[in-house]
Amino acid sequence: MRLKIVQAGEAVLRQRAKPLNASAIRSRETRDLIEWMRETMHDAPGVGLAAPQVGLALQLAVIEDKPEYSKDAPPEVLKERERKPVPFHVIINPKVTLHEDAPIEFFEGCLSLSGFTALVPRARRIKVECLDHTGSSKVIEASGWYARILQHEIDHLDGALYIDRMHPRTFMGMESFNRRWKDKSIAEVRELLGLKR
């Protein structure tokens, strides 16, 4: 079943989501929700979807970066972004620790801000402590694009959107991004849009 993805302006996107307990995680309702969120994410398509994005204030997100999503990207772009496929998985009640590296910047979009993108600084490396779809504890050490996906989805669970972290001068529609900015390096974007270091 495909779920409706709510757009910016809905209160649920600005609330801190509620943790799930062990019995809720193992319930039929949560198993169904995970499968529906997976279908909705694939249909969009996206690389992550948090429960608040489908109108539910729960500490749950699904993530998958399929190989076909980046198959047409030039090798230098994949290398710069440190982007590799990520298999499907679920994170529940996550706690994130950011490593002390200098933040890295790339354009981000969001299924709840359909049609827009902006340059967003994020930690390059993170550690996430969470529960999986069975309620078992797991620790994820992530870097590059995977770390960015995790931070983006965990922000949703805290009531934040990428527009809260973006460089405001870089906010633009996807049509403009694809026409003028997609092939430029981050350094060129920073220079052309007058971003200071």
Return phi, psi of residue 64, to 5°. -165, 125
Catalytic: which of 35, 64, 153, 191?
Answer: 153
Q: What is the DSSP string of 109-130?
A: --TTSTTEEEEEEE-SEEEEEE
153 flagged as catalytic: yes
Decide if 3 contacts 54 (C-beta within 8 A). yes
CA dist 103 → 3, 7, 147 (Å)? 34, 27, 11
Expressed in angstroms, the distance from the first to the final Cα of the chain is: 46
CA 68, chain centre distance (Å): 17
Q: Which amino acids are annotated catalytic?
A: 153
